[in-house]
Structure 1
């Protein structure tokens, strides 16, 4: 594989699996079976400091989502902050990606100011550290949105049996979306 992306170079067994899945197309049945599996939320997540609730969105898909809602924070002068850690988990290989959402409200303003971004609060940083520790213990690898998720895995010219839908096939597309359209 000539796509020198860091993740595939670091984990060649995943690169081999992707080649068998997308180039050789020899794992279609395996793919369908993996997509039908249910995401398992680690019991340890119930110990996340400041946990409000955990929601799981899991369909017949190559990935599922675990949304971890932290306790709301109220500040002076009517400020209210909701925080959520959003986790996508691949069913194809043991990888996940995290992102964060905030919803800021004030008593004097209708609606909310919603922000998606990096972990900027102590609760997010502590929660992220705990999640990463648990997932690593379970054999999962965190993908970086900045460095791994959008890396090109294949150019469409290398995948004649797959309908192109973007400029290139990224690692995020390959591991988290139904690129093969078998479901």
Structure 2
């Protein structure tokens, strides 16, 4: 993928790679992504992960690459699927870490669910606020809008050393009974 691999030039110190900045891109396209990662030595696997996400028929809302990590990313997606019973709407959090991908799907509206019965806030954007890496565990903090006009702070963890399935579907954070 052009633009995603970067090797330091002789005039650029090797330490520049270790002092990389956090990258956050809203509603990205390939040009935005190439521009944002300029100067980062993004791994080939991460570049392929981005390529696959941007080529799919899903709406990529936000890409978050934490500082000092060129092989980790958190991506928020919005997907809809027309099914027999109606439209299924999901928000998805895709986490890439060192060659593996894990996905958490948040059901906004199920196939048979009446959309008008759901809180309006469940259709507003969830926002990643922080991505932390501790060995094989990636933690993601995110905010969810609430009806009071404030945002609730939530977090989820992905353990890449475990045998848990790569995809898990959970209720939307606003619809969970206890978090």
TM-score by length of 2: 0.32
Larger C-alpha radius of gyration, 1 or 2? 1
TM-score by length of 1: 0.32
- Structure with the bigger percentage of helix: 1
Higher relative contact order (CA 8 A, sep 6+): 1
